Structure 1
Amino acid sequence: MTTTETAPPPDWTGGAGPAISVRGLVKRYGGRAVVDGLDLDVARGECFALLGPNGAGKTTTIEVLEGVRRRDGGDVVVLGEDPASAGRTWRARIGVVSQGEGAAQALTVREALDHFAAHHADPRPTAELLTAVGLEEKGGTRVGRLSGGQRRRLAVALGVQGRPELVFLDEPTTGMDPVARRQFWELVRGLRADGTTVLLTTHYLDEAAELADRVGVISGGVLAEVAPPAELGARLRREATVSWLEGGRRREVRTESPAAVLRDLLAASPREVPGLTVTRPGLEDVYLQLVATTTSEELR
């Protein structure tokens, strides 16, 4: 399969090289390649979103980059070091928001944040974090009594508490209500404004479109395509669907020249063309087609 890689603009790197550089990453489970020759570059200060169905290799890729899972092949450099052998100083430069449940269940939310603040040289103030993730009213609540969505918010707060250079956010808004998601988006924008690099996995396409400079669609352990959200699937987006009613039945034509189809329809209709619409694929349509194409090629 041929993948499409769009390189990040050079002015993001600051002359220091990419924050993440991956070549030929392979991870196998029971002889099956979950990640199969993946290449990826994420520039410093960029927000990059990984999209893909369950089992596509998103979380495994993130865990390799975090240094918590060993790879079976390929070269990986994160903030100038190999995560597999990087030490404590390197780990202090990254922040992690994973899908797992957090510790400190017996502490209150405020106590948990104050406790882990001691592990950072320059932690963000607890009050600032509580506001940023929408937990101001839960500061005195024990962690074990929080809802699933509230625990996700606390995990995000802990992941960015140490002002990391690079933050890994693995499906961070799962379980959050719409208000909490919007607050999280503002937090990510603030991180970006401070120059923090963000690698995000999500199932929410609107989230990727809202936050990411570039998105990568991963399927079958490889990147099907990488591009800015508005440009993803450029080839697929060129084709529009012209739809109308004729004789009481819906008809449609898919074409790269909708204007010509419209001229013909208008010329043949003495008045208006009933039910006329012209649509182009949105991000969700493109994503589904990219994933479907990758899956079909795997099955051949």
Structure 2
Amino acid sequence: MKTLLTSVLLTGHLALNAQFQEQDFDGTQSYPLPYMIDTTAGNIWQVGMPQKPLFNAARSAPNAIVTDTLAAYPPTNTSSFIVKSDLAGYWGWSVFFLRFYHAFDTDTLQEGGYVEVSWDNGASWTNIFSDWMMPLNIENYYADDWTPIIADTLSNGQIGYSGRSGSLTGGLRWVYSSFCWETIGYPLADSVFVRFSFFSDSIPEARDGWMIDNITVEAYIAHPVSAFTRMDDFIVVAPNPVQDQLNIVYDVDQDRTPVHLELIDPAGRAVRVLADGEFPPGDRHIQLDRRELPRPAGPLLLAGHIGGRSVAHRIILAPVSVVDH
């Protein structure tokens, strides 16, 4: 599955082909996405450092938003928080994305988290999987090996996420979710509200609930995924698996094309930035020795963008012991 995996890099200004807002709950983002936690009694959403059996670290340390940073979620509870993106500044942008990383630990097909959108300032809400306002491209998969996952129908009738992303022995697995609205032919509202809700039934469960981090809203003039059908035409990665050297050759079409390429490990962390800046037209070549890459064998994700073209390429590293024999 070919998909947008990373946002356009911000270097003191918004890149020419995109608008960008992010909420990492650490107060470090340059263009913050506002959020509001419902103050209703019993709301269990908290921002802080997760300290639970499975939820023991944020994706971007130290904080995430989680259904209680310490305790298991209680029975018979519905808790929500809202993020708001003002779309007035996106006038003329035909495509925009909501993306976030999250983990869940609930009773499968019974309890879990779901996402709703509102185009009328919160007067009405629609489940994001069945949003009628605009066409959607939806993708969900594990961020460590890019295996797609399928949303569940919870016992309250909402389409969302349930079960356990990871295990107590194997560790937490972050899930990446991306929702795309194509606004051509539709009037763009002044703002979009996105509500994240967690639901539990009447049966007590000693589970961690739902944890979310790195929520991003991005807007583009053109769909950045549209060129993925010709991915091999603008980027080549070889050999794969990587034994001795990793070679990445990519094509830049226009002058001052913004390029950002990075390697992401199975935990979703950027382990090396390969390209970051604006480049002239032509072919470019990145070459790395296996010893310059992380020592553990296994998968990495080459992710980023070359202008308006997004990159998502799975790379397998050979064991260093094999390379160094």
**Relative to total residues, which structure has the larger helix share, 1 or 2?**
1
Q: TM-score range by the shorter chain?
A: under 0.3
Length-normalised TM-score, structure 2: 0.26
Structure with the largest fraction of strand: 2
TM-score, normalised relative to structure 1:
0.27
User: Which of structures 1 and 2 has the bigger CA Rg?
Assistant: 1
